[in-house]
Structure 1
């Protein structure tokens, strides 16, 4: 009996270009980014098309990843030029040529050798002596052999090591506002960068590593510009007065997620 698994063509199968397949194997993508990339491949090449309109909710259902995390992974894949979009957040997606990929380097720094302790070493003793010992009376001999593990005794104070929180780069509030004015001059301008706006921007900046990049904000405002609804070019339901997004509306938490996922309606 052959150990080779036979391909059941009656159930269908997805072909993948060898260069793309090998590039994905060697790409330093996060696990979430790779799963989202494979889902995009399934929904494009798997249906014999180069690009397709794919909602984040569809990939979320396929992969079991939360929809907002799917949206962030898509933004990250676009930023690294693995995937491209032909327009805004609802535009078709497809894979960019492998030669154009610009994936971030992750965990590539070689480990450094441990520093050698500055002490004298004896070839006949298990006790390590401090260097430059001029007088034997100054030698401090430990009560237990070096390397022996001392068991805590009653009355000892045992404390856990303090872990320092990772520092997050400060939010470039004014640079984000400048991008808003540059890309969306049609929308109401920001005359005052007050405390409330600074707090909202800081919160969006800290939510994800993806957000801590001015290129993300440039693309985010580009999504807004491609939407006739958010730009006030179409009337709402029932012929209501056209809605125009403001800076405050765009950086509010619920609206921010809606724009990133393309989940807003007239």
Structure 2
């Protein structure tokens, strides 16, 4: 008796290109990224389409993954060249040729623990948080630089008269300031928006205040702007707003100061819901 299960045409089926199938099997994607990729394939090839407009909320419903995590997985798949999207967050999605994939090396020594833990999942769109490293007496800042925890506490210990040398005030201030990576955020803005919007050449007090407001902004109990990935996704969404890129009667264009205002941030994020 044959053990082959024949496809029941009445229930439907989706064909997958063998090269794509084998590439997905061998790709070092995370479990969430793979599930999202399969959902995208189902909504494109499953309907004989090369690309399609697929809402993150719909993939979330299919996969059981939170919409915010779906958005982050889509961003990671685009960054690694697995899928493409022409335009903003509502544009059609499709699979790129396998030859163009550039998958991150997740762990080149599978039998050894990763020296740097990967980002934990956030609760908002397109964002991951740097994890707490409880096993080491260091703090990790948003630039992925490890800062000696003793540097930020030495000043306190010196003031309490425990015999240890206190950190000079200017040095302690510099350590605290580094917690908000202004230079990295400016770099992300210039790289993402510099071709369409005015480059940011200098941060004044107003711009720093706006960035600090974004950094501390809480949405659903989390602070999404504390990850580089979220800044990239946010600035890309801003570019999708025609008015911001000069499509208006004054040819006015937004700049980093405008895009980091709380009113602008909330308007752009709420439009993605």
* TM norm structure 2: 0.61
Secondary structure, aligned partner of 1:84: strand
Q: Distance in 2 between matches of 1:188 and 1:47?
A: 44
Give the count of matched residue pairs.
Answer: 203
Work out whether residues 82 and 101 of structure 1, in 8 Å CA contact, stay in contact via their aligned partners in 2. yes
Question: 1:69-80 maps to which residues of 2 (within 5 A)?
Answer: 69-80=69-80
- Which of 163, 175, 194 is the equivalent residue of 2:135? 163
Q: Post-superposition shift, 1:108? A: 1.6
Counterpart for residue 133 of structure 1: none
How far apart, in 2, do the equivalents of 1:187 and 1:167 lie?
Answer: 28
Deviations 1:82-130 (A, max 9, x none): 0101111111110000111001001222657xxxxxxxxxxxxxxxxxx
Structure 2: how far apart are the matches of 1:188 and 1:208? 18
Indicate whether 1:225 and 2:198 are aligned. Answer: no
**Which of 173, 181, 191 does residue 182 from structure 2 map onto?**
173
For the 8 Å contact 1:80–1:102, the answer to whether it is kept is yes
Give the corresponding residue for 2:162.
none
Tell me the residue number matched to 2:167.
none
For 2:199 and 2:141, the matched residues in 1 are separated by 30
- The alpha-carbon distance between structure 1 residues 32 and 102, as it changes in their structure 2 partners (threshold 3 A), is same
What 5-or-longer segments of structure 2 have no aligned partner? 113-133, 144-179
| 1:9-40 deviation per Cα after TM superposition (whole angstroms, max 9, x unaligned) | 11110000000001101111111101100010
* CA shift for structure 1 position 201: 3.3
Alignment match, 1:95: 95
SS in 2 for 1:94: strand
Report the CA distance between 1:229 and its aligned residue. Answer: 5.0
The structure that has the greater radius of gyration is: 1
TM-aligned CA distance change 1:6 to 1:85, over 3 Å: same
Does the CA contact (< 8 Å) of 1:20 and 1:98 recur in 2? yes
Q: Is the 8 A contact 2:82 2:98 kept in 1?
A: yes
Q: Between Structure 1 and Structure 2, which shows a larger proportion of helix residues? A: 2
Which secondary structure does the structure 1 equivalent of 2:140 belong to?
A: coil
Aligned equivalents of 1:111, 1:35: Cα separation in 2: 25
Corresponding residue of 2:228: 212
CA distance in 1, matches of 2:267, 2:28: 32
User: How far 1:56 moved relative to its partner?
Assistant: 0.7
Q: What SS does structure 2 have at the residue aligned with 1:65?
A: coil
C-alpha distance in 2, partners of 1:47/1:109?
A: 40
How far did 1:198 drift?
2.9
1:133-144 → structure 2 map (5 Å cutoff): none
1:185 Cα deviation from its structure 2 partner? 2.8
> Structure 1 unaligned runs (5+)?
113-161, 236-241
